[in-house]
Amino acid sequence: MAKTAERKPPANAFSRRENKDVEKLRNLSDNELVARQRDLNDQLFRLKFQMKMGQTESLKKIRDLRRDLARVKTIARGRTQGLEPTGTEKK
């Protein structure tokens, strides 16, 4: 006989997960989120430039920046689609 296992709902990009860094991003307003995205893009550009010039070999920093940038973009996209609450709304 087959056991019936409880099924969890599928996790998507907008599901709530226990991550303090992501929660900090979710609490930002739309303007602060845009500023954060601009800042991350600038930092990423500088690190890539330094890497091409041979001044640094920090691949981990670049990887982390790219992931943070993706998180910011995911939250911003979720807000435009109405799937993610804005920073001023509470649960």
Written as six digits, the tokens of 8 are 């969890």
pLDDT given for residue 22 in this prediction: 85
pLDDT given for residue 62 in this prediction: 93
Written as six digits, the tokens of 46 are 């500088």
In a domain, 37, yes or no: yes
Instruction: From 91, 88, 90, select the one nearest 33 (Cα to Cα).
Output: 88
Positions in the chain whose pLDDT score sits under 70? 1-18, 87-91
* Cβ-based neighbour number of residue 37 at 10 Å: 17
Q: What is the CATH number of the domain that holds 27?
A: 1.10.287
In a domain, 12, yes or no: no
pLDDT given for residue 82 in this prediction: 84
Total number of domains in the chain: 1
The reported pTM is 0.70
- Residue range of the domain that includes 66: 21-81
pLDDT given for residue 55 in this prediction: 87
In a domain, 34, yes or no: yes
pLDDT given for residue 23 in this prediction: 86
* Token pair 């900090």: residue: 24
pLDDT given for residue 67 in this prediction: 94
